[in-house]
Structure 1
């Protein structure tokens, strides 16, 4: 049945499509996929106003009066859809990136059974009034029955490519960078884009066989081959870009994408975030295909724009295309797109066919033809085999990759795939030419230094991080620190870090170094040793595991801080560590530490106590520690001694037991300590996400001040995780403690409803943190220091506040500002000497340079 459409609607539609056609023609010179041709009927007569789209997208045009069309896209597409009411639809496979002068013939006969056009209403439809609602209800009800879960056992082959490159490069820039290599790659670069060039930097390819068993809830992946071509971009910026595209399940209610939690368009709560438009329904043989477009209700919401098609009666997705609206203002992001396609199996079940993730990133707000970093991840699935279950032992025999080139295969392996359009010869030919280009290497090294903090000094040794080089505190005055590390590749099995520091106020040299080596790869066994002689702020952190020295910090204070800070300890430390990684997310470790502890400023800060009926102010301390760390579902990658972590939501559990050993290596303190930590990010539907952390500990035995638990404080004006911003160092000391830190990020749920905040594209957050603890009478009795043992045992000490994040300009919006208040409990604390009066209110700033 054909529903007659008003002339006004048809006029608007034709005008809109003609305008789209004009704009697309303007961008045709910068296209990755370009196609032109003519549409005719069975008698060879050109057909005007035919819809021509790249399948699964909203990128399209209509034919002109002569039946001609031109269509282009920055992305790579493999199928073209051509349709017009009253004619059979056609789908054409695109075997090349450029297809010219093609002829499409549409045949009358297969009429559309029904066409329902729903314009996005100016006044939002209620959920039950929207025709898309009934279809979404069916998707929710049947999503478990669709896809890989429809089979008891499933096997398939998966090809993945991950490509990093730079877009919108003009010939003058390329000549300057490539120099003598320009002529050899110029023709290949022009094939990428006829106006501005795209130059790949790195390409990683992988072929895997995947075996799943739904009844056993087990999956095994067997890597058949890998290869890497081109340069190796490094540094924080490149690391962040490559972490963006994790596996995304669009059927889930919420999606972690680009470090942020987005509401899925298929979420059961989707109508709180999206407007849905049912475009049409088409009867094809025994199926009915629905196309639904979705739009964020508010442009600044963490939500997608795009469309999906769904097949009835299975109500399985056949295609989905999603993009992020630039109004969201993600850090460094100029554009992000996701496209998934599905193929039909056994007449009714749809399985993954391809996934494409594409992103463009820049430091400044994207302007037309601006240079951007491009990241493209493609996944293709084929060679499906159904219901051939294997023994349970087969699925559990999962081989973990333990070396970077363990599955690297040479040309003979890849020859079998070369004729497949998913495997790009052109990209690899360019990468072969530029791999050893010295100018390009220098550009990447500068980027690594600026964003990652490290610069090469001699082969295998780097200086960094440069931003930790300068600091200040009241004991040392201005402090200069120079750091170094060994480095050949990200996958080094051996790594050493070191630094030397000099205080211009105390005229003393400090230094530290550590070494660690990946002794065994499966299971992972890492050994390490550290030595340091430096000043440390013991009142800033409680729980440590295998990182016995904090090389990520520049020092003990900052230039911008309130009050004074003389409460530093002079520590000489030697330690050894042994870490067992039974899996990437389950570690057990042991370390032995010997420390000589004294005050760094005895005239201002005393750590004295009564030991064996005499007052001592220096301590030889030997401690044996054991710990368990469990991080289920954490995405871990890398095969060297230092692994990296992807962006995904996972809990983190740490259990640590410490024992002070009297008599070993001169140690004089005897005690036991137990500590437990739990971190978790909780998704609270459309209201945002809550970051929660609990930590508790108890010390058994009588110990001096340096071995008690100073509740972590922060006197700086910048935010630091898991610290209290309105406390001074050593304001609270306990041998038993419980702390909680909570941050709720509303992700636009509040700010998008407040016009002034919305105008500046800010997002709101709320914070709450508390501490509770006590100090035993025995530990109070031996105290001879000048520190008051204030313990929050009479009630909770807490701080609460709210703030704004997403502060910045253009594509750089990683700053935040917090407004913080404290509980009245601290007003009853006895003030330590040289400490400032505790503020009731504070303003703090923070920066998190992530997406």
Structure 2
């Protein structure tokens, strides 16, 4: 099948496309032609030589034309690793005919002229020129040698790599070439993001979810390299950008936004928004898909990259430019591969190509490529004028046939004005992103005026198809099934039925528990929300339930006001984190490992008013009334020396809450809410809650004040990944029964919880003054990627430490409600440490945890191994 040439051919391999079926793939040769025309050469026809010659020319014409054509197919790969090379340049030298390899390294190139050679090149690799046979369809398998050998040569010679001198000049000129040195500027940007399903076969048409929708497949097309794709989503956005240097202010005004899709997918829309973020190579680190990449013009560029400076200058967009190629210093590093064109006069980057592929420890990415074109304004600074992004995503990155999708983004910048500022009130707005009230309501006529180009035929067809799918009842039923599996709720018109995973569970108090819940959805109202549930425990023979309602009032500039109320009569578990499985989830019945399983009855009513700002600020004020009791005999209480049972603890008063995370959308002020999303916010999250109880709504309410504050943040620590920080502190002022004390989040369950103490049991510690600190350093494979046998698995390592410090006042330690056995304060800090491996099969994490203190407590486990599951890049 293959004819492997010797070392003199520089390692590339030639393979005949006809699989050795013959020296030529021409379907007939000249002898067959002469046999066909043989009667014309008989003596009978010798009198008509001109006619014979004309006919002979006509018969030979297809053969001659075929002989002139050049057809080449093949695959390009990394000679060192064997990995396919996407987007390599393949051209016929001396012509304008060329192409690029696809995402798995394949190409096809045709020309009507005879070509005797083929040239293959790619950033960071030695170019190859291959001799071609004439009049033969040829298949080639071409290996390119990485240029790290040449780069290494530069390092060992006296002096230094000549690219370094150019890069130092670029870095030194960054402040002058950056737009931020201007007093003010304004520009308009248009972004278009499209997702295409790719690498699928006809079997997908028989899939239960998609089988009825024949019209969906009308949009199938094929790339030049033979990859089938189907556009399924389109999003466009028009924005205005304003900058003022002193006092510094940056604002984005969203003038219009529109999404064409047939599925509800908030995570996908997060992905769309992340692709629309323009990376700034003037920064030290560039964040893409929640991963940090060092900029190729980073101040410490030698630490991350190997560079090669072309020995000749070239023309680029009217400038004379240096060309510098770069690649990661170590295989597997989260760093770019690409090239820069640098203006020799201003030392500004005219064009930059950034790419990473399956070699980088990033999930679900076959390849990712960014191109930015820059141009200066008269005042000197350079602006990004246009950019392109192409991503190839799939579940299994190194499979060329696994179904995935292309993500494509194009962006253009126009109407740049320098030195003009807006009115002061505009800059004083807190919101960094200002969304016009009419942004989502723009009509087609408006969009036609702002688009820099018209929709392609594919894109127009996509708009028609997705609209038809979105209104197809058959698809709506299937989408409901997907939400039932993923979220546990089944849509039934304007009502959702669920959560199916809580329909049945068991616990020590209720024994067997059944539950049914209902809630409204967008088909009922986008303004009003109602929810309720009814449950029954067979062990305690007691009904439980809850009912809640809320109305959302939209104000100007995307400000929202929520007014809500709730009644709840159900069970609670002290010290249970909101990020754990729901208390009545069916799995909770089976996954507890150690310690007690306390459950109390809670009867609560509350009402609140909350205001949310797009700047990332939410404030809530509300009333709260709670009555907590224990099963069977209730809480024990000491009165005049006698201990009695049946006591109920009552709390009634006002609760104030606030949360701030600059620029984060849809933030609420509930202190216990866990922010969930595809990407972690790039800013600290600060939450505050104040509870004032006594008198008010409850006649027997405990007089007390509780204050608590927490901060969550992620610090990038390149090249060693990132550090997650969680810190909380609080105090309770007043003499309170122990059910109202603070219980640290505990997790004695089988699965790891990142915000809990995973070796602490429920009701093990309590405090009225406390502090919690949790640190997790994620190395993102920095060390494991250095091990060749493990690199392919893309495993990532991390270490962690968690501590809790809490104390009890004498009055609360020896109060009227005696502390149950095993419950104490933590004057000496409780500490657990561990390490772990994450990204196992891209969705799993395993923690190895040690408890360092209080190991003599009843039911305490000194060591445990816990799994958990998640989705992230």
Does the TM-score normalized on the shorter chain lie above 0.5?
Answer: yes
Q: Which residue of 2 aligns with 1:609?
A: 637
Pair 1:725-2:758 in alignment: yes
Pair 1:581-2:612 in alignment: yes
CA offset digits 1:568-610 (Å, max 9, x no partner) = 11111111121122443122211211112111465xxx63234
Q: Which residue of 2 aligns with 1:626?
A: 656
Q: Secondary structure of the residue that 1:271 maps to in structure 2?
A: helix
Counterpart of 1:430 (choices 439, 446, 462) is 462
Pair 1:338-2:363 in alignment: no
Equivalent pair of 2:163/2:307 in contact (CA under 8 Å): yes
- Aligned counterparts, 1:8-47, within 5 A: none
Counterpart of 2:339 (choices 307, 332, 343) is 307
Q: CA deviation at 1:839?
A: 1.3
Distance 1:798 1:319, change over 3 A: same
Q: Which residue of 1 aligns with 2:865?
A: 843
Equivalent pair of 1:235/1:449 in contact (CA under 8 Å): no
Distance 1:435 1:850, change over 3 A: same
Q: Secondary structure of the residue that 2:425 maps to in structure 1?
A: helix
Q: CA deviation at 1:448?
A: 4.0
Distance in 2 of aligned mates of 1:558 and 1:248:
47
- Aligned counterparts, 1:294-373, within 5 A: 294-346=326-378, 348-365=380-397, 367-373=399-405
Equivalent pair of 2:253/2:436 in contact (CA under 8 Å): no
- Aligned counterparts, 1:384-463, within 5 A: 384-396=416-428, 406-417=439-450, 420-421=452-453, 423-437=455-469, 438=472, 440-441=475-476, 444-456=479-491, 458-463=492-497
Distance in 1 of aligned mates of 2:728 and 2:647:
29
Q: Secondary structure of the residue that 2:460 maps to in structure 1?
A: helix
CA offset digits 1:630-683 (Å, max 9, x no partner) = 212435699xx9998664411111222111123523342111111111112112
Distance 1:319 1:787, change over 3 A: farther
Q: CA deviation at 1:221?
A: 3.5
Distance in 2 of aligned mates of 1:465 and 1:193:
47
Q: Give TM-score scaled by structure 2 length.
A: 0.76
CA offset digits 1:546-577 (Å, max 9, x no partner) = x9x99798389452221253311111111112
Distance 1:662 1:395, change over 3 A: closer
Distance 1:69 1:511, change over 3 A: same
Counterpart of 1:260 (choices 288, 291, 310) is 291
Q: Which residue of 1 aligns with 2:786?
A: 753
Q: Secondary structure of the residue that 1:734 maps to in structure 2?
A: coil
Distance 1:596 1:723, change over 3 A: same
Distance 1:622 1:71, change over 3 A: same
Q: Secondary structure of the residue that 2:575 maps to in structure 1?
A: helix
Pair 1:165-2:196 in alignment: yes
Q: Which residue of 1 aligns with 2:231?
A: 200
- Aligned counterparts, 1:653-692, within 5 A: 653-662=686-695, 664-692=697-725
Distance 1:210 1:823, change over 3 A: same
Q: CA deviation at 1:788?
A: 4.0
Q: Which residue of 1 aligns with 2:575?
A: 539
Equivalent pair of 2:611/2:618 in contact (CA under 8 Å): yes
Q: Which residue of 2 aligns with 1:83?
A: none
Pair 1:821-2:857 in alignment: no
- Aligned counterparts, 1:448-487, within 5 A: 448-456=483-491, 458-464=492-498, 466-467=500-501, 471-477=505-511, 479-487=513-521
Equivalent pair of 1:320/1:340 in contact (CA under 8 Å): yes
Pair 1:138-2:179 in alignment: no
Q: Secondary structure of the residue that 2:221 maps to in structure 1?
A: helix
Deviates more, 1:506-515 or 1:158-167: 506-515
Distance 1:190 1:755, change over 3 A: closer
Q: Secondary structure of the residue that 1:779 maps to in structure 2?
A: helix
Equivalent pair of 2:595/2:761 in contact (CA under 8 Å): no
Equivalent pair of 2:628/2:649 in contact (CA under 8 Å): yes
Q: CA deviation at 1:329?
A: 4.8
Distance in 2 of aligned mates of 1:765 and 1:455:
38
CA offset digits 1:11-64 (Å, max 9, x no partner) = 859x69x99x99xxxxxxxxxxxxxxxxxxxxxxx9xx9xxxxxxx98453543
Q: CA deviation at 1:768?
A: 0.5
Distance in 2 of aligned mates of 1:163 and 1:212:
29
Q: Higher Cα Rg: structure 1 or 2? A: 2
Q: Secondary structure of the residue that 1:432 maps to in structure 2?
A: helix
- Aligned counterparts, 1:88-103, within 5 A: none
Distance 1:444 1:125, change over 3 A: farther
Which structure 1 segments of 5+ residues have no match? 1-7, 23-45, 50-56, 76-116, 832-836
Q: Which residue of 2 aligns with 1:519?
A: 553
Distance in 2 of aligned mates of 1:637 and 1:312:
47
Counterpart of 1:530 (choices 555, 560, 566) is 566
Root mean square deviation, CA, Å: 4.2
Q: Secondary structure of the residue that 1:838 maps to in structure 2?
A: coil
Q: Which residue of 1 aligns with 2:82?
A: none
Q: CA deviation at 1:736?
A: 0.8
Distance 1:216 1:563, change over 3 A: closer
Q: CA deviation at 1:179?
A: 7.9
- How many residue pairs match? The answer is 747
Distance in 1 of aligned mates of 2:731 and 2:586:
28
Q: Which residue of 1 aligns with 2:77?
A: none
Q: CA deviation at 1:625?
A: 1.1
Distance in 2 of aligned mates of 1:306 and 1:473:
58
Q: Which residue of 2 aligns with 1:30?
A: none
Q: Which residue of 2 aligns with 1:103?
A: none
Q: Which residue of 2 aligns with 1:807?
A: 840
Counterpart of 1:695 (choices 717, 724, 728) is 728
Distance in 1 of aligned mates of 2:561 and 2:728:
27
Q: CA deviation at 1:482?
A: 4.5
- Aligned counterparts, 1:702-717, within 5 A: 702-717=735-750
Distance 1:681 1:223, change over 3 A: closer
Q: CA deviation at 1:766?
A: 0.6
Q: CA deviation at 1:704?
A: 0.8
Counterpart of 1:792 (choices 826, 848, 867) is 826
